[in-house]
Amino acid sequence: MGRRVLEPFSIDEFRDFDAESRISRAIVGRDFGDNEASILCCIVFARPATFLQDFRITWSDSHIRQLQGGTAIQLVLDQNSGCGFASKSQYLFGRVSMKIKLIPGDSAGTVTAFYMNSDTDSVRDELDFEFLGNRSGQPYTVQTNIYVHGKGDREQRVNLWFDPAQDFHEYSFDWNHYKIVFSVDGVPIRVYKNHEARGIPYPKTQPMGIYSTLWEADDWATRGGLEKIDWRKAPFYAYYKDFDIEGCPVPGPANCPSNTNNWWEGPLYQQLTAEQARRYRWVRMNHMIYDYCTDRSRSKDAMGIRLMLLYSTVELYTTAVEFGFI
């Protein structure tokens, strides 16, 4: 497990680090005063950490077990309880990832969630991965959702192209001023671009914490609630390791979120690369099974239809541009 934080170093101090301590990503800024430029380097670095150094248990501590000296954990769901945890800090922009091995076999009715949340009630911002359990032999579905200023209902669902219960796989959020990318093993499965100029809200002012939960949701999770959880298969287990946070902690340096020299704000991260766009197209064409953009049945009134068309037109337009159709 690694924790990555932002701390200031002078250039001379940075040069004194041994090769193994240096990180390839460095943020260099210039502070001009009294006709002299003093160069400061803000290093994004990793150091060994245990689960409890970075996270706290928020729900049912008896159902979260530390493994491998606290560098990995097991979440447990049984008829008594599910469980959950959260980061001790909130972050504004950056990259968050973790490796998860999901519930094997018959997991119908269960939901394993990995998400970011501003914890601001009716005006919350939130980014969701929700892994929907299945009957044995059926593909695992991951549902993503985005809440901005309290407005959600932007679900998309993708059937994973591998068995996520056989081994660990990396799930990540990349969040900057230009876009949010949801990725699985480095493959983009969803892109939400900043289109504030078109009247679409974008999360950029509220820091978000990092959360995960394992719980029962058999009223909707599997085939719309048709498949119920089989408690005879309990307890259900999900495993986590390699938590990685690179971003601006809040509270923290006040100018960090707006620093255009942060690596995640660089030109390489302002849009998908050609290879990322190719993989993104492959996922959407071959593995996407639901997209709110094309579900007009969910808008029950004229205003709802207009809002849905506004949101969906922009997201569909973004997808077309990424695919090279426009």
**What is the token pair recorded at 16?**
């004194």
Selected residue with higher pLDDT from 220 and 194? 194
Question: 304-315 b/e with 16+ CB inside 10 Å = b?
Answer: eeeebeebbebb
Counting residues of the chain whose pLDDT is more than 70, the rounded percentage is: 76
Q: Return the pLDDT at 122.
A: 85
The model's pTM: 0.82
DSSP letter at 148 equals B
176: which 2 tokens? 């900057």
- The catalytic position among 126, 216, 227, 246 is 126
Domain boundaries, the chain: 2-47, 48-252+266-323
Per-residue pLDDT band for 180 (boundaries 50, 70, 90) equals: very high
* Residue 282, CA distances (Å) to 19, 36, 279 in order: 39, 52, 5
Residue 308: the pLDDT is 52
Give CA separation, 174 vs 93, 215, 311, in Å. Answer: 8, 25, 21
Residue of 7, 13, 36, 130 marked active site = 130
The CATH classification number of 48-252+266-323 equals 2.60.120.200
Q: What is the pLDDT of residue 309?
A: 53
83-87 and 55-59 strand pairing: antiparallel
Mean pLDDT of 242-258: 94
Q: What is the pLDDT of residue 300?
A: 56
Q: How confident is the model at residue 28 (pLDDT cuts 50, 70, 90)?
A: very low
33 confidence band (pLDDT: 50, 70, 90)? very low
The beta strand positions in the chain, using DSSP E, are: 2-10, 26-33, 36-48, 55-59, 64-67, 72-77, 83-87, 90-101, 110-117, 126-132, 141-147, 156-159, 169-175, 179-184, 187-193, 209-216, 236-250, 288-291
Q: Which tens digits make up the pLDDT trace of 144-156? A: 999 999 999 999 9
pLDDT band for position 31 (50/70/90)?
very low
Token code pair at residue 166: 């056989």
Q: What is the mean pLDDT of residues 2-11?
A: 44
14 close to 26: Cβ distance less than 8 angstroms: yes
Is residue 155 annotated as a catalytic residue, yes or no? no
Tokens of 90: 């909130």
pLDDT value, residue 137? 76
What one-character DSSP code corresponds to residue 208?
Answer: B
Would you say the C-alpha torsion 108, 114, 119, 123 has a positive or negative sign?
A: negative
pLDDT at residue 3 tops 70: no
Decide if 126 is catalytic. Answer: yes
Q: What is the pLDDT of residue 154?
A: 93
CA pair distance 72, 50, nearest whole angstrom: 8
